[in-house]
Structures are given as structure tokens and as C-alpha cells.
Chains A and B, each alone.
Chain A
């Protein structure tokens, strides 16, 4: 079972942009309460889409370059990348079934 792994400014290119599978990036920070509370939901999704999409987390405090590059101004923000390009962005938290629908739309 694939739990979301942490990526950094240094590993973002290799782990996200050059990934063979689409990647969902969970932008979060330790001081963001909702970001911590959504972790179990994102983890459930990572199990449900195991093998079809990769799930990673990026701490915006420790990795400001990536957060600035994608103009993150609100967390949690979830972004889906496919072949190096952002193809979906979900700002703030949405109910799990909504997230699943957004993921399905990317996977089609």
C-alpha cells in the first residue's frame, strides 16, 4: 500500500514532473490544522488509486521554491500533474467524493 511520500524542492522535478504516472501533490504545512486533518482522507484516496496515480506531500514551509512557482496562496491545495504539467488544482478542502471525481477526470 502506497502512503503519500514527502517530496522537496530538490526532488520535485524527478518525483513529480518526470513521473510516469499522474501525481497528486498535497501542499501542506505543519501549522495548518485542516492540512493535518485531511491527511487521512488523502491517504484513503492514495490506497484507492494505488497503481493509477501517485500521491505525494510537499511542505510549503520547507520548500518555498515550489510553492512560489505554483503560486500557492492557500493550503491545503491539491494539484495533479501529468507529464510535467499541472492539469487540476483544488484550492481548500473538498469532500472526498468531489476529490475522487476530479481524480477520475484526470485519469480518463
Chain B
């Protein structure tokens, strides 16, 4: 449960964008609350190793980076609450009311950093077999499929990165992709195509995932020839893009066709005091470093906004004496 009824900055979502926003807002001595629905770190917590965050020449574990970012923000006075947010409304006085699982909260500024959830294939068998071979997190589940043949679905950065991770355990990885070329970055593409355990299955979509108690096979269709086939596999790791968590914003912000929140270069939405940063915003580069940069930008602008619109401050969320070392 949050300590207070009212905060100067409430951040919705605890991935890199939210953690950076929390760090900057707390260091600006704003009463700052981070609300997280599941677990802090967001998608980087699902990533075995982050190799492109500047400053870590040898890479860093995704969960290690997330924990370090979280600790840094909390040491600066940010509070964390594990809650869901279902809606936001703007009040007459310009403050914002957040509807949460634990009741309503008042925020003077809100930074939406709710990220994006993995897309589902939406094929028969997928939901029933989730956790029984169907997975959206290779770093969580790949180790449970040693020395067997598995499938990875997708052709972007996530599919290639996770596909390479899965080769540590599986004897063979079929990379099922609906096009005939990968969309991942060049360095990842080269690694994937050079990996002897990975066999691409081009121009192919999944129509069904079969299995009684656990995944046994994928039913496939070649989109060029129309030919159908059955691919025996013990697991299906699915990485086919993501869907922004932006529905709770309602009409406080405009969204693009993909439901990403439209912001200006200061991460401001059309509603004063409402900001969006990271993967949830439109035209994001969708990188850890750009998300963190977005979060810092939003928090700095939120601090300016608070200076201009509210004369008194509320004081830190967590007093220095109670901050965990």
C-alpha cells in the first residue's frame, strides 16, 4: 500500500524508463511513487544479458541491471508499490486521480512508462499449453528443455536473441518466421544464421500448437506455397512483437494506430502534467538506453511543470533514514 494519498510524481510501470524517471524525480526532491503491476525491470528482467547499455563493456545480466536501477532510485527516495492502475482522470484543480487496485491516489504529475506486453499468436493450443512448453520468456524456461528439439517463433531482435539463448540447452532450434528474411539487427542476424543448432523455417506461420499435457508439435503453413506441415517440438518460444499497455490512459492522451501514446520531444502528452516514456510511447527506439533517456527527460520536464503549477512541495516519499542501502 502506498504511504501517502498524494504524490508529486507517480510513475506507472517499473521498467528502465520508469526507473530512470523515478531516479530523476526523487533526486529533484519530489515525492515520487513507482507503481508496478508485476515485477520491477519489465522486459529487461526477461533478458539474459544486456550487451548494448553504455558503460557495461562486457554486458550485464538483465535482472542485475534492473535491480541496480531500482536500488538507485529507492536510495534517492522513490517509493515502490505493487499495484495495477485501471484509469486516470484529470481534476478541476489540475491534479490527477489514479484508480488503483488499492483505491484512488492523487498525483500532481504522472509519467506513464507501462511498456508493452508480448503479442500472442492467438492459435489453438497456445493458451492451454502456456507454461507447458509455450513460453514468452526463454531466459525463464529454456533450461527445462535440455537436449530436445524446440521452436522459436518470430524474426526480430527478440526472437533472434532468445533463439540464440535457447541453443544453450536445446539440441536443435527451429526458427519459424513468416518472411524469408530476418528483421533483427545485422549483428544478431549474422550470429543466428551462423549458429549450427538453429534451422530457419522461412515463410511459415503457426496455425496450431498440439499436445495433451505438454507441447508435442506445431502445425505450420507455408504462406507462399500454402503447404501445411507438422513440426515435432517440445517447446514453442514466441517472440512476435508487443502491444503497448496504454488502455488506462483513456482520453488524456492521443494514441497512434498501434496504441502507442503520442508525446512531444519533452515526453508530454496533450494533457498538462501527463507524460509518457519508453516503449509505451510512439516512435520509441525501444532500447534500454533510449527508454532510460526518455524517463529522465519526462522527469525533468515534470519537475519544471510542478515548479510552474504548484507552489508548495510535499517532501520525500521515503525519508532518508528508511532508505535501504
Spell out A's residues near B (CB within 8 Å): 29, 31-38, 40-41, 44, 61, 71-77, 91-97
Q: Which of A34, A35, A36 contacts B67 (CB 8 A)?
A: A36
Using A41-B82, A96-B83 as known contacts, say yes or no to A34 and B137 having CB atoms under 8 A apart: yes
B87 to chain A: which residues have CB within 8 Å?
Answer: none
Within 8 A of A (CB), among B277-301: none
A44 to chain B: which residues have CB within 8 Å?
Answer: 82
Spell out B's residues near A (CB within 8 Å): 37-41, 44-48, 61-63, 66-67, 80, 82-84, 101-102, 130-133, 135, 137, 139-141, 143-144, 213-214
B83 to chain A: which residues have CB within 8 Å?
Answer: 95-97
| Distance in Å: Cβ of B7 to nearest Cβ of chain A | 19
Please determine whether A29 and B38 come into contact, CB atoms closer than 8 angstroms: no
A33 to chain B: which residues have CB within 8 Å?
Answer: 41, 44-48, 61-63, 66, 139-140
B130 to chain A: which residues have CB within 8 Å?
Answer: 74, 91-92
Please determine whether A31 and B84 come into contact, CB atoms closer than 8 angstroms: no
CA distance A32 to B64 in the complex (A): 11
Please determine whether B140 and A74 come into contact, CB atoms closer than 8 angstroms: yes
CA distance A96 to B39 in the complex (A): 9
Q: Which of B37, B61, B102, B131 contacts A74 (CB 8 A)?
A: B131
B80 to chain A: which residues have CB within 8 Å?
Answer: 40
Q: Which of B40, B41, B61, B84 contacts A95 (CB 8 A)?
A: B84
Using A34-B45, A92-B131, A93-B38 as known contacts, say yes or no to A29 and B143 having CB atoms under 8 A apart: yes
Using A34-B45, A37-B45, A44-B82 as known contacts, say yes or no to A73 and B141 having CB atoms under 8 A apart: yes
Please determine whether B214 and A73 come into contact, CB atoms closer than 8 angstroms: yes
B131 to chain A: which residues have CB within 8 Å?
Answer: 73-74, 77, 91-92
CA distance A95 to B100 in the complex (A): 12
Q: Which of A29, A31, A61 contacts B48 (CB 8 A)?
A: A31
B133 to chain A: which residues have CB within 8 Å?
Answer: 73
Please determine whether B144 and A34 come into contact, CB atoms closer than 8 angstroms: no
Using A73-B132, A77-B131, A92-B130 as known contacts, say yes or no to A34 and B84 having CB atoms under 8 A apart: no
CA distance A97 to B100 in the complex (A): 11
Residue of B nearest to A30 (CB): B63
Using A73-B131, A92-B131 as known contacts, say yes or no to A34 and B140 having CB atoms under 8 A apart: yes
Please determine whether A31 and B143 come into contact, CB atoms closer than 8 angstroms: yes
